[in-house]
A and B are shown apart, each in its own frame.
Chain A
């Protein structure tokens, strides 16, 4: 807290910052990389004139590297922008700023063809398995859609064989291929969704709250299925969830998001048990412990107030309005991620030294 490492020191240790050139060259350790990624939605009022009256900063300057073959857990409260981030990485939502690199290619500038190729190499599993399958299409039609779109298997016969293979892979009986989604349970539907996401043999899978709307008993099954698939197929997984226990269970590394920004990232063991950022500490203290004595001893850090609106982000550190340790640099310097605690652990907090971009006067006024 006393010695203040300056910007360059942090850079030398490889802390991601907007100024650092994007990593993620082909063959390197990093598969997906975001630099200064922004997704801002205009807030419009009045239907006739459609004047833009504000900016909703769903994702606001995210720096994140996802390593090949790892499972990165992304946690945060609802509305913190984690789903938008996942969607922006696959360009299912258009980023308004920053870059996303996939296997060395900047995907923000991709044309029609490049985008289609990205969609084959990166899949998505959605939250609600009741909404994510077209009710009018059979399981076979749904799962073989990627095969048709990308011309991966020619002919009905070969596609059918591949669909059977995929259904088996996710633990479903291939005989159910001609059934409609409403004939399945939630867990089964989610398996169909996973089979569809895997049809194009992707390298990268975004699981956007993939277990949140399932029954608890089924959650474990789907979670274990994802783990098995990840190992079996060498997938890189971005596991988005608000369920910290589930994330700790599956992740190699964990990233914590607050109000559109990644505020802490690091090895699951470090972030999951000894977080350095006050927000992560509060988040972690809310997780129940499956042991009566330990559970009774658990100290909860209760945060005051609500999450500020992403349309009106506080100046400097965005967590300062609820942080129990707030001190004088917090409103004036926007903290950058800096190395803290365990190797590979980064946190955006001035308690570990004031690093970051000083707040410009205009910003301060705008945030009022």
Chain B
């Protein structure tokens, strides 16, 4: 007794199973789908647009700024905002608008460099710790815990004290501070992905560890890391401002938002615009990075994605 014979469908695949999927549209690359969904999230879309403008401003700073940022005109010192100087002038008569525009380049460059460094090192550590587990995990993550236990600013100050101030070193210092954050986020994400059946399935056809990590684990573990990147950019801009405020980051006379804030502090009663405009620039940038991060979190969540794209399985 071998059970009742069942119909053999192979010759004529039925519409329900073996045919072409009903949605007969050309496949869209995933990143384009992501952008499309992001555009439909108004908050994130606005944040992304503002950030794009800030970045463009930072890139074309020289041609955008009304005057040289370090051009001193003592006779024009501490001018309130006016048509000639929309953001006013500082105690040396320098145009604050120009300094804010040029400060964007300094602040963002440090922020991007710092986060890029933290992302590469932290994600690599988290990937290895999460995927290999056991002693690799123990060694790497205990090391991360030690790094994480230092107060962030103290650690950055220590790095700058050893290596000296400057944009590159500031980025390095902030980057080191954020390595454990990326390591943890990556590890947690990888821990989930590495147990997925499709990872085992790839191993079952002979894929190497390297292939599994680069083609399957990392792409699927990426969404939380992308969100963390966006949020960390906000914190890095703040950290740069804090370090410059303490005199350890960008050195005068070069403009950086944090440094301008520090310099304006002394005149806060006399001329509010000295601290207000760089402060607003920091506020706007950080807010936009955070909103973009939140938007990305929603868009990259596979369940949310299915709901929003309206193409459930």
Contact = CB atoms under 8 A, between A and B. Distances in A.
A216 to B, nearest CB: 11
Given A132-B197, A149-B207, A179-B27, A224 B8 contact: yes
B6 to A, nearest CB: 4
A100 interface: no
Interface string A311-353: 0000000000000000000000000000000000000000000
Nearest to A112: B208
Contacts, number: 136
Interface in A124-162: 124, 126-128, 130-138, 145-146, 149-150
B251 interface: no
Interface in B194-218: 196-198, 200-208, 211, 215-216
A196 B10 contact: no
A224 B3 CA distance: 13
Q: Which of B23, B205, B208 has the most CB of A within 10 A?
A: B205
Nearest to B302: A135
A345 to B, nearest CB: 15
Interface string A211-251: 00000011011011100100000000000000001101101
Interface in A93-149: 115-116, 119-120, 123-124, 126-128, 130-138, 145-146, 149
Interface residues of B, number: 41
B6 A249 contact: yes
A136 B207 contact: no
Contacts of A223: 6
A contact face: mostly helix, strand, loop, or mixed: helix
A270 to B, nearest CB: 10
Interface string B9-25: 11001101111110100
A248 B3 contact: yes
Interface in B5-61: 6-10, 13-14, 16-21, 23, 27, 30
A133 B10 contact: no
Contact of A145 (B6, B27, B202, B306): B202
Interface residues of A, number: 62
Given A134-B198, A183-B311, A290 B4 contact: yes
Interface string B83-98: 0000000000000000
Contacts of A149: 205-208, 211
B1 A269 contact: yes
B67 interface: no
A133 B10 CA distance: 22
5 contacts: A138-B27, A171-B13, A173-B20, A196-B201, A272-B2
A6 interface: no
B201 A126 contact: yes
Among B3, B9, B313: residue with most chain A CB under 10 A? B3
B205 A119 contact: yes
Contact of A182 (B2, B4, B215, B306): B306
A92 interface: yes
A187 B27 contact: no
Nearest to A218: B17
Across the A-B interface, the 3 shortest Cβ-Cβ residue pairs = A119-B206, A249-B3, A131-B197
B1 A273 contact: yes
Contacts of A124: 201, 204
Given A90-B204, A145-B202, A224-B10, A173 B17 contact: no
B3 A245 contact: yes
A172 interface: yes
Interface in A186-214: 187-188, 191, 193, 196-197, 199-200
Interface string A246-280: 10110100000000000000001100110000000
B187 to A, nearest CB: 15
Given A224-B9, A225-B10, A269-B2, A135 B21 contact: no
B247 interface: no
A197 B23 CA distance: 26
A216 B145 CA distance: 51
B197 A128 contact: yes
Interface string B274-292: 0000000000000000000
A136 B220 contact: yes
Contact of A173 (B19, B219, B306): B19
Interface centre among B27, B200, B201, B203 (most CB of A within 10 A): B201
A123 B204 CA distance: 7
A196 B197 CA distance: 14
A182 B33 CA distance: 14
